[in-house]
Amino acid sequence: MAQRLDAVEWFETLYEQHHRRAFGLAYSFLGESHAAEDVLQEAFLSAWRSGQRPDPRLDATRGWLLAIVRNRSIDVLRARRRRPTVPIEETAERAGPVDVPAEVERTADQLQARRVLDHLPHEQRQVLELAYFEGLTHTEIATRLELPLGTVKGRIRLALHRLRAHLFSRQDPSISA
């Protein structure tokens, strides 16, 4: 029974010593107190389940716990990227008159953008689609395509330059890219 009390005391001390800083770290990643509280709960539960009982007053223990919080926060951010949440109000159709000319123009712009993308070299189109349609970072694209980061950045820059030049040349000849 004494061993159980030591573990409980350890956990209480760990929480008292580090919960404020751990919450601050999670909040800085997620920007929402509710999500940060969830991450904090998961991190402390993970620390408890790990079976490790480092001295909660040591800086090394703080670093260990904050690493757990950081990793959990990153997991939440990645999950959000895979499953973005959209409030119901934004997805519901709005009643009211439809601006037909604006809708036609928007559709024409989308078709033009698709045609321009189709004229890009495959490598440039691929990195643009991963960046803009899947929301991947340059580093994530480099990892997925097994390319150097500089190559990914260069392809995106060249693709955007070509898109800009093509779109401006078709809209108004007096505008230069």
Domains within the chain, CATH numbers bracketed: 2-82 (1.10.1740.10), 116-177 (1.10.10.10)
Q: How many CB atoms lie within 10 A of CB 60?
A: 9
Could you tell me the sign of the dihedral formed by the alpha carbons of 5, 8, 13, 14, in that order?
positive
End-to-end CA distance of the chain: 75
Reading the block at residue 65, the tokens are: 């716990």
pLDDT at 172: 45
Reading the block at residue 42, the tokens are: 């998961």
Over residues 37-80, the pLDDT tens digits come to 999 999 999 888 888 888 888 888 888 999 999 999 999 988 88
Over residues 14-49, the pLDDT tens digits come to 899 888 999 999 998 888 889 999 999 999 998 888
Tokens 């960046």 map to which residue?
131
**Cα 162 vs. chain centroid, distance in angstroms?**
27
pTM, 2 dp: 0.45
